[in-house]
Amino acid sequence: MVDRWYNIAADLPAVLAPPKDPDEGESRIGLLTRILPSALIDQEFSAERWISIPEEVRDAYRRVGRPTPLLRAEGLERALGTGVRIYYKYEGVLPVGSHKLNTALAQAYYAKADGAVEVATETGAGQWGMAVSLAAALFGLRAVVFMTRSSYNSKRQRLTFMRTYGATVYPSPSEVTEAGRRHYRPDHPGSLGIAISEAVEYVLSGEKRRYLPGSVLEFVLMHQTVIGLEAVRQLPEEPDAAVACVGGGSNFAGFTYPMIGMKLRGEGFDKTRFVAVEAEAAPKLTKGEYKYDFPDAVGVLPMIKMYTLGHDYVPPPVHAAGLRYHGAAPSLSLLRKLGIVEPLSYPQEEVMKAAVLFARTEGIVPAPESAHAIRAVLDLAKKLPRGSVIAFNLSGHGLLDSDAYEKFL
Ligand SMILES: Cc1ncc(COP(=O)(O)O)c(C=O)c1O
Name the β-bridge partners of 346.
279
Which tens digit of pLDDT belongs to each residue from 215-231?
999 999 999 999 999 99
CA 103-236-245 angle, to 5 degrees, is 40
β-strands 85-90, 389-394 pairing: parallel
Kindly report the protein residue whose alpha carbon is nearest to atom 7 of ligand 1: 247
Question: Tell me, what's the pLDDT at 345?
Answer: 98
pLDDT for residue 19 is more than 90: yes
Distance CA 85, CA 147 (A): 40
Q: What is the pLDDT of residue 298?
A: 82
Q: Is the pLDDT of residue 125 over 90?
A: no
Instruction: Give the per-residue pLDDT at 134.
Output: 98
Q: Is 258 in the pocket of ligand 1 (CB under 6 A)?
A: no
Q: Tell whether the model's pLDDT for residue 357 goes beyond 90.
A: yes
SS3 content of the chain, % helix, strand, coil (to 5): 45, 20, 40
pLDDT score, position 49: 98
Question: Which residues are within 8 A (CB) of 395 and not within 5 positions of it... i.e. 6 or more apart?
Answer: 91, 92, 98, 99, 244, 245, 251, 367, 369, 370, 373
Q: Note the pLDDT of residue 141.
A: 98
| H or E stretch at 354 | helix 348-362
Q: Is the pLDDT of residue 6 over 90?
A: yes
Is-contact 132 145, C-beta < 8 A? yes
Q: What CA–CA distances, in Å, run from 239 to 6, 85, 252, 380, 392?
A: 20, 9, 15, 12, 9
Q: Is residue 113 classed as helix, strand or coil in its secondary structure?
A: helix
How does DSSP classify residue 90? E
CB of residue 102 inside a 6 A radius of ligand 1: no
d(CA 169, CA 387): 49
This prediction's pTM: 0.97
Q: Which residues pair with 145 in a beta bridge?
A: 121, 169
Of all atoms in ligand 1, which is nearest to the CA of residue 214? 10
Instruction: Compute and round to an integer the Cα radius of gyration of the chain.
Output: 20
Return d(Cα 83, Cα 80) in angstroms, integer.
8
> How many angstroms does the Cα of residue 295 sit away from the middle of ligand 1?
16
Q: Which atom of ligand 1 is nearest to the CA of 325?
A: 10
Residue 84 pLDDT level (bands cut at 50, 70, 90): very high
How close is the Cα of 387 to the center of ligand 1, in Å? Answer: 30
As a whole number of angstroms, the distance between CA 367 and CA 379 comes to 19
For the cut 90, the answer to whether the pLDDT of residue 121 exceeds it is: yes
Contacts (Cβ under 8 Å, ≥6 apart) of 288:
307, 308, 309, 326, 327, 328
Nearest to 100 by CA among 233, 275, 227, 277: 227
Handedness of CA 172, 175, 180, 181 (dihedral sign): positive
Q: How does residue 178 score in pLDDT terms, banded at 50, 70 and 90?
A: very high
Q: Tell me: the pLDDT tens digits for 377-403?
A: 999 999 999 999 999 999 999 999 999
**At residue 176, does pLDDT exceed 90?**
yes
Sign of CA dihedral 221, 227, 228, 233: positive
Question: pLDDT digit string (tens) for 291-334?
Answer: 999 998 888 899 999 999 999 888 888 888 899 999 999 999 99
Residue 213 CB less than 6 A away from ligand 1: no
The average pLDDT across 107-134 equals 97
Give the closest residue (by CA) to ligand 1 atom 4. Answer: 369
Can you list the domains of the chain with their CATH numbers?
Answer: 4-53+100-215 (3.40.50.1100), 66-98+219-408 (3.40.50.1100)
Please state, in angstroms and rounded to a whole number, the distance separating the CA atoms of residues 135 and 169.
15
pLDDT averaged over the chain? 96
pLDDT at residue number 155: 86
Residue nearest to atom 14 of ligand 1 (CA): 322
- CA 12 / ligand 1 centre spacing (Å): 23
pLDDT-derived band of residue 234, with 50, 70 and 90 as boundaries?
very high
Strands of the 70-72 sheet, one edge to the other? 70-72, 85-90, 389-394, 241-245, 273-279, 341-346
How much is the pLDDT for 384? 98
